[in-house]
Every structure is written in C-alpha cells, then in structure tokens.
Structure 1
Amino acid sequence: MRLTLARRYRGLAMTTSLGLVVALALTASSAPRPVQESLATNSPTGPMEIPDEWMTAQRMSDGSRDLSVAKYAKARGEAHDLNLRTRLLNRDLAQREWNFFGPSNIGGRVVDIAVDPQVPDQIFIAAASGGVWKSDDAGATFETAWPDDGTHSMGAVAMTSDGVLFAGTGEAQPGGGSITFGGDGIYRSKDRGKTWRHVGLKDSHAIGRFAIDPSNEDRIFAAASGNLFVPGGQRGVYLSENGGNSWTQVLAPPNATTGATEVVIDPSNPRRMYAAMWDHLREPHQRTYGGLGSSLWRSDDAGRTWSRMTNGLPTDADQGRWGIAVAPDNPQRLYAYVGTALGPFRAFYRSDDGGDSWTQTPVTAGQASQSTFSWWFGKLFVDPGNSDHVFLTGVNLMRSTNGAQSFSSVSGVHADQHAMRWDPKVPGRVYLGNDGGLYRSEANGASGWVKATYEPYTQFYTVDVAQTDPVLKVGGAQDNGCNRGYNGVGGAWNAIGCGDGLQVVIHPEFPNIVFGCSQYGSCYRSENSGGSPRQSIGTGQTTSERRNWLTPLQFDPSDPNVMYYAGNILNRSTDNGRTWTPISPDLTGGGPNDPNGYPWGTITTVAAAPTDGNKLYVGTDDGRLWWTDDLGQNWQQVDPGQLPGTWVTRVAVNPADKNIAYATFSAFRSGSDRSHVMMTRDGGRTWSNIGQGLPDAPVNFVVPTADGLLLVGTDVGVFMSAWNGGEWAALGTNLPQAAVMYLRYHEPSRQLTAATFGRGVFDLTVPRCPAASTKLPLKQTGVGVIGVLASCRAG
C-alpha cells in the first residue's frame, strides 16, 4: 500500500511506503490530504499568533526545509571547539564567568512532570527549552538537574519506582522552542539528575511521552514524534526491555510524516496499552498539522502487535493531533480528543470498554478552550481516584466532573496547559505545568493553585538595561509578557503588561520611561516604569501595512528624544515616542498574497549611527539591507548579490565611525559557507564576510564596543572578536546552551547582558583588550586577533 501526500502551493508529490502491516488499513489512502494552512490562521487575534513561527521563519528564510538536530549538534560541537581554543589562547578570557541575574519568579513553559516515588516532596520537570529541573519542596523552588552544555529542548520526563530518571529531548508540540530546537534522543540518570547518559533514539527529534511497565520496570516505552521538517527518521512507539540500554520500534507510523505523541499503559493490565499517532509536517511557508496518519492504537500483547481503534472514531483525513488518557481507577474508561487538520478543536470521545467502541461526548470547541491550535496542547489527564474527574489541556485548564459530558474552566493558573501529575504519596496533591511554569494544588486540581516561587527557566526574546544604572533591566518573554527587573540581582521581576513580551526598552536618561511591545508592534509608552497610565503605540499612531512579530522599536543613540519604529515602513519620533512620522517607502519586497498570512515583508532591525543621526541602516526579513545619509530623504539598497539573502536579525553601527556597520543573519544550512556576520567600511555600499570561524548557527545579535571589540549572540553561545572579525573566541564560561536571542552592552560598566530563550538573563563583564582599540583594519596594523585575545585582561 502506498500513500501520496499532495502538497498545495509547492506542486510537490511525495510518496512513501506504509511502514506497518496491521489489522487496520487506511482505506482512504488514495484520498488527498486536507487543504494545508498557508502560514495563516483565521484567529480574530491576528495572523499567526503562534510565537514559534517568528523563530522558525528566521531560520528557514532561505527556503531551507530542515532545522535538524544534526545541524545544531554540529554547531554546538564547533562552539565547544572554539571554547577549547580560547582557553589555550587566553585563560582569563575563557574562564570569565556569566552570572545569572534573573528572573526566578516568572517561570516558563513546563511540558512534563515526574513525581519521585520514593523521596517526599521531590519532583522533576522538563522545561521547554531549559532542560530538566528538580524540586525537593513540592514544587516551590527548583534547581537545575541538567548539564549546561547539553541539549536544552525537552519533551518528556519519567521515573521508575527505584528512582531511575529518563529525559526525552525535543518538544512534541511544534511551537516555541520545540519548532526551532529539536532533541537528540533519550537520556538516563541513575542518580536523580546529577549525571546523565545518552541511551538512544538520537534521530527521534522529539519525544512526546514515556510509559513504564509497572510489572517490569526494565520495559520502558517512548513515543517518538520525529523530525517536524523532514519525513522519516525514528518515529512511532519504541520499547526498551533492558532499562533503556537499547530500543526497538514496536509501532511503526503509517506514513513518513506521522509520529507518536502518546503512549499509555493500562495500570491493571500492563499487557494492554494505547498510543496516539499524529501526522504533521512543517515546511518553509506552510504547515500541515493533520492527515491520514493521525490515529489511535491499542495493543493487547504488551506492545508486540497493534490495531487501530476505529469503532466510533473518525477515519477521514481531517484529523489533527490526538490526546488519550486511561482512568487509573477504572481502566476500561478511556478519554480522547482530536483537533482538525488546520488546528481548531474537532471532537471529544469516551470509551467504557477499553477502546472496543467509542462515543462522542457533547463537548464543544468553546468548552475545549483550544483556540485555533489544538496541536499546541494534545494532553488529557484523569484523577487517579475518580474516573469521572477529567482535565483537558487548552489555553485554559478545563475540568469535568461528569465523565466529559461538559467542561468548565479552572481559574488561578497561567494560560496554555501541558502537563499534570498526581502525587501518590499525598492525597489531593496534583502538579500542573503550563507556559507560566509549575503550579501545585492540594485540592485535587479543583482550586487552590499555588505557583512556584523560584523557577529560573524563562524564555526571553529581548532585554534592555538602563543606561543610568545597569542593574535596572527589562525584557520581553514568550507568553509571559513584558517584565521589569528593578530589584537587583536575584530580585523579583514585575509584570508590566503585554501579551507575548517582545521589544522592551528603557529611556537612556530617565529609567522611569519604559516602552513595551506585544506581538506585531502593539506597543505602549509609560512614564511609570512600565506601569499605568500607558500611551498606545501601534497601528493607530504609526504608518505601516505589515509589522513583524518582533517589531523594532529603538532609540537614536545620538538623541534620546528620537526613536524609530518599523513595520514595512520606517517611522520616526522626535518627541520621545508621543507622535510618529513615516520617513521611508516600503523597504521590503512586499507582503504575502494572503492578508491573514504570516506578515512577510517587514523591517526587522533599525540602527542609527551614534556619531551622525542622519545616517541610518535598516534590515528586513526578506534579506534586504538599506542605508540613508540624509534621514530618509533618499534610500539606497545594498546590492543583493553581496548578501546571504536571508533574514537580517540585527544591524549595528560602529560607535566611532558612521560608515562602519555590521549585519547579522539567521538562516543556516549545515556545512555551507554562507556568512552570518557581515561588515561594511564604506557606509553600506560594499559588504564583506567577517564571520569566518564562528559556529555555523544563526547569529541573533551584534554589538561593537567603543574600544574595538565585536560581540555576537548566537543559538549556541556568545563570541567575541575585534572590529574586523575574521577570527573569534568564546566569551566566558558557564552560560547554558540555550539560544542567546538578544545582547545589551553597557559601555560605562562594560557589563554585557544576554537574554536566553529558556534560561533567563545573564551578565558578564567584558574584558579590556588594548590591542583591539585601534581604528585601523587589523591587517594594516599587524595586530592579529590572536594578539587581541592575548591582550584581554580583567582591567
């Protein structure tokens, strides 16, 4: 039997063999897949209100079809080698420490939870792009249980009764860090997270769940979701019969784009088990999150053979992600739900005979609370002591007390639910993981939710530092709004509005004036450190047809009353953000044909020269660079043949010379010689590659210092060179391997602040490097980069 996957928009037909002969056949195999989503949702809240699309769009802006784990593994290896080389050249530079600044009270996405069966009050959690964390006080505070230099993208955790811990890397829901950062398989710890060993499935890309056989804990099942971007690889349900030492596929997917997201064992009969399969594929300009492969399966012989459950369940192609759960106190009771291929909730089902037959319950899309992206959640949880008490994940936490005949919302928790676990040692205690972190209820989940007080795994997009005092910081966090950290190192951060927190900036002279932005350029101006009252900045005050998910909002370094805001048109304010005037035409290649689609054709970065406010540089998501010498009266485009043609993440101007500027780029292909950092010395007319020697990974930020150094933040760390680049050194030690999305350098104190996507905000004092202070090209002075590094000292 063969399946043909019809690809609208690209005209590509791809045929794959059915990987498993089972008692069930996909009888409609000749039918086309449902119409795919052309990078659009019809959500009333705006186009593509899914944060991962911004990160993914950057990294695939060259039309690349693959963000494979292998690319990131190679890049991390290159970063490791560069770190070793730096230690040889300059021990002081290499051993300079990054210090965690915060926040610890905000949290971030928690995708799974494991309750320690032996140690009271001890749990382990998987943070989406922050690794594994341990709490020994019932989820109040957490400490890392994962190596800083390991893969930080997580999908699942589980623990045996004797304390062996398993971690599955890579998120199974294609959103946020997961869609950008896949995993490299399964790890095992026999000492509760102190040390880890990789034990297999390195090509699984994402692990959705573990199930441990209660009758023989050497038998461990893993749901492997597969590479979101490339069909094939390690997908389906895998079994280890030797405690994780080796793995064998026991349920193969019905086609090359389907993977397993759930595997559940009947606690009263371990020979019976269930699995959920999900057919999904992400391409550069479309996503297909459903199809014929999406289905539910059952095994009655401990996972050796499987049959698809169909009696009462849909068998057409309009099936997205499934969630399934078994009631522990009545394992004949099963619950399941499914979304449509395009994302909205489709239906909820219940079985009272172990999956032999299913009945659709009256649950509506409104009760499901899953908006247009049911695939972001994909989980169900049943009270171990009451089979009628069911929780459904969604934007809100939904609860039923009548066996899923109806659901109501549970209050008191952050949005976007992902994991629940009951503590068998403490009656009524249940833990919840969502985009806001970890919560605990002692009332069986019905009420009384208490948030963790120390959970330092926030996913930051941006950070800014007050020029008057570098201890004062603000930042924008994924699904956790704009935040203010004005209480010092380790102090509490305060929410200051926004939905997803994106660009947040502090006035250079008055730190009480703060600007904060939500997605797509919905910004405000506050004279109360981000608090109310707030003046709106956005579609009603600025001129643009399209605005990026992270809309640039920047001060002019030569005049603190001048600001820039950019959609597809650059806007300028001369009264500190109160009023705005457009100063450019559309600087992009134009937007998408679909008005509800992802807003391609936007400005992504703006830089004004510190020495001349009339000199501006602009970069776009479609790989264009522009400059003007007369404040926008005339714009000049850089010859596209000089550039990589990919998403421009940042432009920065040399603090001493308006004609020297740097541009960084995000998209990458492993092994290519494409530049990630480019430099102009003639005001933008010609550009050269100065990124040789950097790891082949997206570069997200660049900062030139006044004394001749160049600092860049990448998906695999922070690196340093002289102004001319060409040879690079790793900067500092003990910075976790979460992507560095943003840098802010405070010149007077030499403090460099890094915003990581999964481990919060870190600071480091940049060394002084006398050999770098020359303004001439290094080749002309005879001072090589090795000489620069050798001159770097703590002074």
Structure 2
Amino acid sequence: MRLSLLGKSFVAAGAVAWLLGGVLTAPAAVGAEPPGESDGGPAAPADYSYIQRTVPGQTLPRHAYDTAAKQALGLPTRGGAWRSIGPTNIGGRVVSLALDPQRADTVYAAAASGGLWKSTDAGQTFAPSWPADGTQAMGAVAAAKDGTLYVGTGEPNPGGGSVTYEGTGVYRSTDHGASWRPVGLRDSGTIGAIAVDPRNPARVLAAANGSLYSAGGDRGVYLSADGGGSWRRVLDVPNEFTGASDVQFDPADPQRLYAVLWDHRREPDKRTYGGVGSGVYRSVDGGATWQRLAGGLPAAGPTVGRIGLGASASEPGRVYAIVNSTAGPFAGFYTSPDAGEHWTKLPDSAPLTDSQSSYGWWFGKVWVDPHDARHVHVAGVPLLTSLDGGTTWTDDGGALHGDEHALIWDPRYPSRVYAGDDGGVFRSDAAGDSGWTKATYEPFTQFYSVAITPQDTRRVSGGAQDNGSIRSWGGSDFNSYYGGDGEQNLINPKNRQNVFACYQYGNCARSTDGGTTMTDFTDATTADRRNWFTPVQFDPSNPNVLYYGGNRLNRSTDGGVTWTPISQDLTGGPSRDTYPFGTITTVAASASDPNTIWVGTDDGRVWVTRDLGAHWTNVLINQPWVTRIAVDPRDPATAFVSLSGYRSGSAQPHLLRTRDAGASWTDLSGNLPAAPVNKVVLGAGRTLYVATDQGVFVSASGDGRWSRLGSGLPLVPVDDLAYDRVHQRLVVATFGRGFYELGVANELGAG
C-alpha cells in the first residue's frame, strides 16, 4: 500500500486506508450478516455539527472558519447571481434583539447563523443589516441611546450548527446598521451579551463567552470606555473553559453591574455544561471590583450549570435568577430584594421545571417587566410567565414557536414586547402575556437539506432545524408538512406527489399526495443506530427502489413500504457517548449498474458492493466524516467522495475521486478553502459542483481547479445542493439564509 498525504494520488490494492500519522489496512470483502435492532441515544444539533466537523483527537482550530472564509472570498468567481427563493415566512433561531432608540418601530434581530436583520415596521418584515461576506454567526446585539449599534459574533448557546464555528469579535455601526467596523475581542469565540450604559453611550460591556471547544482566548467581562475603541477585562474567569454568558447594568443604578460566568466545554465524546466556575457576580463600583454572590444561591461546585439573571427597573434591588444543573435539568429559581446580598429559593413550579426539559443550558435567560417587578418572563422550551414574582408560573400555551432566547420591551409602548426564538421574531402588545403575532418576512431559516423535481421548478422542500420539513406548495406560503428537526427530504423525479421527509435520527415517512398525508416507515427499517441526518435515497434508475442507511443499509423495492437489510454493520461500532456514532451518512446507487451501491459512514469508511449487497468491500477507512458520495452516471466504478472535519497543521483533502471502484484515489481538493465539503454533484460534461461551509464552488474540468460559483450568496454554510439536469439549475440549502437558486446552462458552458 502506498499513501501520499501531500500528493494527489492514493493507491492501494483493493482498498485505501488513511490515518493521521500512519496507515491502516482496510478489511477484505465480507458477506452480509443477520441484522439486530435497537435505538440510539439522545443528542442535540451541536453534537451532529461538531462531530461531523472534527477529526478524532483534534479540536477545531481557533479562527478556522474565518481563515477558510478568506480563502473562499479570494478565489475567482464564475457564473451569474444567486437568487433567494425563500422561505420568507418560516424564520429561524433568533438569539438577541435590540430597539433603535432614535427610530420608532425599528427592531434589530440577531439570527444565530443568519446575520443581523432590521425591521422598520414594528417587527413585521425584516431586511438584512449585515454584510453578506461577513460571518453570519451571531451572539448579541445592543443599541446605545445615541443610536450606535454593537454586535457580538459567535452564538453562545451550545447547540445548533452555528456554534460549531467561533465568531470574529465585536462590531460597531454608527449608521443604524448600514455599515460595520470591527472593534475588538476577536478571540472571544462567542459573545453572550453586550450592554450599553443608559447614560453614557461610549461605555460598553461585553460578556466574552469563549470557545466551546478550545481553552483560553478572550473570556470574561470586558469594559470599553470609548465605544469599543479599546477594551479592558474587568472580570477574569477562574478556569480556562469558563466564559461570561451574560452581563447587565442594573436599570436602577448603572454603577451596579451583574455578570454570569459559566463553565462549558464540548469534547468529541463528552460535554460539560457547568462547573465550579459557574456563578453570579456583582460590581457596585462600575466594574472596578467584583464579588461572587452567595447568600442563598448554590455554592460553587461541579453541578452548577448555566444561570439566567434579570434585574428590576421599577423596584431597585429586586433580582431574579434561574439555575440549571450541569446535566441540564432545572435546579431552582431564586429572588433577591437587596441587589443580590440575600437570596430566597422559590417553590418549584411544574410549568417552570418542565420548561427547561433536560437541556437548560440552551436557555439561561430571565426578563423583568420594567414597569412591574413581579411580572417576570423566563426562557424555556415555551416562554414562562409569572405575575407574582416567581411563585407561580404559566407557559405561553403554544402561542410562540418554542425554544425562547430573546425578549425586549419597547419603551415607546409600555405593553409592547418582542420575542425571539427558534421560529423567528414575535410581537405582543399585551406585555408578553398574550396576543403574540409572528413576523411575516424573515428569510433566515436553517436548512439541512433540499429537494427539487424537474417536473415543477416551483416545487422545493427541505429539512429545517427546529422547523420540520418545509415545502413550497400546499398553501400560499412555505408550510411545514412533517415535524421535528427536519432532515432528509425527497421528491420522486417521476411523480412530484410522491415525497419523503424525515426528522432527527431516521424517523421518516412517505406520501403519495404531496405531503398532505404522511405514513411513517421507520419501524419497517432495521438499524442499531441512526444518524441525526439519516440518509434516504432513490435508486437513480428506478425511483420505486429506495435505500435507507442506519448502521446497516436497507433497501425497498415498493416505494418505501417494506424494507430489507442488504448489508452487515458497515461502521466501526458505537461511540462511548450517548450520541449514536457509528452510522451510515450517505448512500449512492449507480445509474448505469443497479447492482453497484456506494456507502459512506460517520467514522470515515467508504464501502462498495457490485452485487447488490451480497458482498461489500471497504475501500476507504479512517477518513473524516463522509458527507456525500456521487457516482458517475455512466461508470459505476467512478465515484466522488466528499469529506468533513477540520485538520490543523496537516494536509486536508475534502474531495476524492476513484475510477477503479476504490482501488486508487485522486485528491481533487485543489484550491478549495480549508473546510468541510458537504455535498458533491456531477453536472453536465466534466463539471463538478461542491457545497461547502464557505459556499458553492465549481470545477468546469473536474480536475481540482476551483472557482467560487455565482455572486450574491451570503457567507453561510451550504449543507445541501440539488442539480436539475433538465433545466440546468442548482438549488442550495443554507444553514441560516434559506434556499438559493442559480441557472448554470450558459455561464459555464455546461448546457
């Protein structure tokens, strides 16, 4: 076996093995074995995104995304302009809100992985207020009384795809969001909150939350006295993985400051969302000195998780805190009448306790009505409301989308409240207790997948984070037709009414009426483990034949009604963590030979069968996560394998090609940015298209010389790409900016 990490050719006798620092021999071809059956454990989107984009034994390098983004923007651009095709009515996760103090009805919304958005009509419609070529990962937005805006990049919540990448610090705008300039804290990883002194717009506090994955950097509470021109850390952190998740001016006394510190760390096989560094801190001298508050709050210890804090404007000194455990569940709600000197733990209330589910680290927010100290809202799966200072609670009754993250009162209208959650922006004119209405235009949905059909170019569907599977038909707007976290979507190319949709961990259903009625087929499949994004694919020569990958490959010949396993376990087995690692991530059947099927896994294995599953050959091993495989429609032995996973200080192929069924491989990564490739598609002629975390790229000759494809696509991860060969168009699913479309018939000489 010969292996060259720095060269272009990888050759092996029947199999290729690739291991950082060494070589492994792939196993010989084996026959199928009887299947078993069990379920994988629970996890969050962050687990999927993080494990997919890392290599075992390595963390994500600091500024990896920003470095790759600069490489992407430096490449030549070919093709026309991308066109946004929605959805505009679905929305996506909003992590922070701010109001323009100089302009009535002007609201700013920070979308977790979709940039900053601005509404001038009281939250009904939103337009982008952030450069398309800047990082789209947002953490916080705040406005000074003179109209100056501050944005902190990098989402602080340890879940969702955008947190996989760190932000690039704090930015300032002096023209109501029309233009921005960086003002420091580039090594902050994520920003939990920004607060501006209500009396002095140049005095700004930033809660530097730090990287979830890498120790150190800018962490703690920072103070700027000159509008971000310079920063001074006024509250240090006790541990290398402690960050500041929140900082606030006491609305009754701007010299009194509150901050929340939080221990949080994600490792490939472990997550720790709490610890001895977690706690509430207070300064009574404008940030010069700080003390950790006790007096009834939980003592420092390994079980103290994320804490949310809210201070009253109408009753000076009244403060509330919600505490969650390191493991995730609710651990207590507290109140203090004397600015945090003494605390009382209030009785547990089932609505509040239940609202945090098992992942209270996803929330950690308390908001106090500025006009009524006993009127309190708390972030949870629903929005929780108390009218008696935290003694009793009610939830929003489903009026909001779910998974609350942001809330702000409008001082111009005392009963008007804006909320931000995983479904976008909502407004209430009843103090947040009822009467919620959703924004009508907010095109920042986080998609995992896209499905199109040449039968109708107006039909597009996709799986969206926390918004289910969404279709463009079935109503006047995009609408959800299958729930959960939307994942794989398919539209039968020969019957547009025959559609498939899945939610997390391979829970899938089929429909023969365009999705109006869905029939689940998950239990008909066989798997010990199923990936967060479980692959389901048509046979390209016969859409009545489908493939479904758990840790075994399942095949259906009757349109997904019944399924039969046609492989053994094609992975290296489960991981030590609850995340169901050891799963199939991609399936590709040959269009020219129905007996040839290719499979890739999350533990870096690629398999091929030439006899419809009777025997399988492992042709790649110890790769990063295999995201997609594409098979040449004319040659079943020619396949392209796209890979995820960052590597620091070593060669980093993202795209490999074989022309001999895996006996040898060529690296086609060429000048692609140093980042994951999420999808590879074969276009007309020798054209290759790839969807990456930095956009879409094209190689017209298929030889590894790449150009950035099209203009106008924001710098946002592109999770999926669909090619319509009939109409010569591409449609992409972005994780934070919805769907985009581009015609490719003329610009590239491909049609």
With the length of structure 1 as denominator, give the TM-score of the two structures: 0.88
How far apart are residue 446 of structure 1 and its match?
Answer: 0.6
What is the aligned partner in structure 1 of residue 231 from structure 2? 247
- Structure 2 residue 204 is matched with structure 1 residue 204: no
Q: Deviations over 1:161-205 (max 9, x none)?
A: 111111000011111034212201000011111100000000001
What is the aligned partner in structure 1 of residue 696 from structure 2? 718
What is the aligned partner in structure 1 of residue 395 from structure 2? 409
How far apart are residue 283 of structure 1 and its match?
Answer: 0.9
- Structure 2 residue 332 is matched with structure 1 residue 347: yes
Aligned mate of 2:506, from 504, 514, 521: 521
What is the aligned partner in structure 2 of residue 31 from structure 1? none
CA distance in 1, matches of 2:50, 2:138: 17
Contact 1:199–1:244 (Cα < 8 Å) also in 2? yes
The equivalences for 1:203-602 within 5 A come to 203-315=187-299, 316-364=301-349, 366-368=351-353, 369-411=355-397, 412-486=399-473, 492-532=477-517, 534-538=518-522, 540-593=523-576, 597-602=578-583
Aligned mate of 1:626, from 607, 628, 633: 607
Contact 1:188–1:198 (Cα < 8 Å) also in 2? yes
What is the aligned partner in structure 2 of residue 760 from structure 1? 738
What is the aligned partner in structure 2 of residue 13 from structure 1? none
CA distance in 1, matches of 2:164, 2:371: 39
Contact 1:297–1:309 (Cα < 8 Å) also in 2? yes
CA distance in 1, matches of 2:55, 2:350: 34
- Structure 2 residue 45 is matched with structure 1 residue 51: yes
AA aligned opposite 1:53? D
AA aligned opposite 1:556? D
Contact 2:219–2:236 (Cα < 8 Å) also in 1? yes
What is the aligned partner in structure 1 of residue 25 from structure 2? none
Contact 1:712–1:718 (Cα < 8 Å) also in 2? yes
Contact 2:468–2:503 (Cα < 8 Å) also in 1? yes
> The residue matched to 1:656 in structure 2 has which SS?
coil
> The residue matched to 1:520 in structure 2 has which SS?
coil
The equivalences for 1:95-106 within 5 A come to 96-106=80-90
How far apart are residue 599 of structure 1 and its match?
Answer: 0.6
**Segment drifting more, 406-415 vs 471-480:** 406-415
What is the aligned partner in structure 2 of residue 734 from structure 1? 712
How far apart are residue 154 of structure 1 and its match?
Answer: 0.2
Distance 1:593 1:256, change over 3 A: closer
How far apart are residue 639 of structure 1 and its match?
Answer: 4.5
CA distance in 1, matches of 2:44, 2:651: 31
Unaligned runs of 5+ in 2: 1-38
CA distance in 2, matches of 1:425, 1:359: 33
Contact 2:308–2:364 (Cα < 8 Å) also in 1? yes
How far apart are residue 364 of structure 1 and its match?
Answer: 4.0
CA distance in 2, matches of 1:160, 1:354: 24
> The residue matched to 1:55 in structure 2 has which SS?
helix
Aligned mate of 1:704, from 657, 682, 686: 682
Aligned mate of 1:166, from 150, 155, 159: 150
CA distance in 2, matches of 1:615, 1:485: 34
Q: Deviations over 1:758-779 (max 9, x none)?
A: 000000011457xxxxxxxxxx
Contact 1:153–1:177 (Cα < 8 Å) also in 2? no
With the length of structure 2 as denominator, give the TM-score of the two structures: 0.93
CA distance in 2, matches of 1:493, 1:52: 26
> The residue matched to 1:512 in structure 2 has which SS?
strand
The equivalences for 1:585-664 within 5 A come to 585-593=568-576, 597-640=578-621, 645-664=623-642
CA distance in 2, matches of 1:173, 1:55: 13
Contact 2:487–2:502 (Cα < 8 Å) also in 1? yes
The equivalences for 1:177-196 within 5 A come to 177-196=161-180
CA distance in 2, matches of 1:166, 1:414: 27
Contact 1:742–1:755 (Cα < 8 Å) also in 2? yes
How far apart are residue 236 of structure 1 and its match?
Answer: 0.5
Contact 1:478–1:501 (Cα < 8 Å) also in 2? yes
How far apart are residue 285 of structure 1 and its match?
Answer: 1.1
CA distance in 2, matches of 1:582, 1:364: 47
CA distance in 2, matches of 1:576, 1:109: 35
Contact 1:363–1:407 (Cα < 8 Å) also in 2? no
What is the aligned partner in structure 1 of residue 70 from structure 2? 77
Distance 1:178 1:357, change over 3 A: farther
What is the aligned partner in structure 2 of residue 29 from structure 1? none
Q: Deviations over 1:368-407 (max 9, x none)?
A: 3111110101111011111001001000111001100121
**Segment drifting more, 353-362 vs 54-63:** 54-63
Distance 1:511 1:639, change over 3 A: closer
CA distance in 1, matches of 2:296, 2:40: 35
Contact 2:553–2:565 (Cα < 8 Å) also in 1? yes
How far apart are residue 578 of structure 1 and its match?
Answer: 0.9
Contact 1:117–1:425 (Cα < 8 Å) also in 2? no
CA distance in 2, matches of 1:198, 1:462: 33
Contact 1:205–1:227 (Cα < 8 Å) also in 2? yes
Q: Give the structure, 1 or 2, with the largest relative contact order (CA under 8 Å, sep 6 or more).
A: 2
- Structure 2 residue 662 is matched with structure 1 residue 669: no
Distance 1:616 1:735, change over 3 A: same
CA distance in 2, matches of 1:669, 1:345: 37
CA distance in 1, matches of 2:361, 2:431: 26
CA distance in 2, matches of 1:345, 1:427: 31
> The residue matched to 2:594 in structure 1 has which SS?
strand
- Structure 2 residue 676 is matched with structure 1 residue 692: no
What is the aligned partner in structure 2 of residue 147 from structure 1? 131
Contact 2:607–2:620 (Cα < 8 Å) also in 1? no
What is the aligned partner in structure 1 of residue 28 from structure 2? none
What is the aligned partner in structure 2 of residue 772 from structure 1? none
How far apart are residue 670 of structure 1 and its match?
Answer: 4.1
Contact 2:269–2:575 (Cα < 8 Å) also in 1? no
How far apart are residue 487 of structure 1 and its match?
Answer: 7.6
CA RMSD for the aligned pairs? 1.6
Unaligned runs of 5+ in 1: 1-44, 88-92, 770-791
> The residue matched to 2:65 in structure 1 has which SS?
helix
Contact 1:61–1:622 (Cα < 8 Å) also in 2? no
Contact 1:363–1:404 (Cα < 8 Å) also in 2? no
> The residue matched to 1:271 in structure 2 has which SS?
strand
Contact 1:670–1:696 (Cα < 8 Å) also in 2? no
AA aligned opposite 2:456? D
Q: Percent identity?
A: 50
CA distance in 1, matches of 2:736, 2:444: 5
CA distance in 2, matches of 1:363, 1:414: 25
Contact 2:54–2:647 (Cα < 8 Å) also in 1? no
CA distance in 1, matches of 2:186, 2:669: 30
Contact 2:552–2:566 (Cα < 8 Å) also in 1? yes
Distance 1:686 1:365, change over 3 A: farther
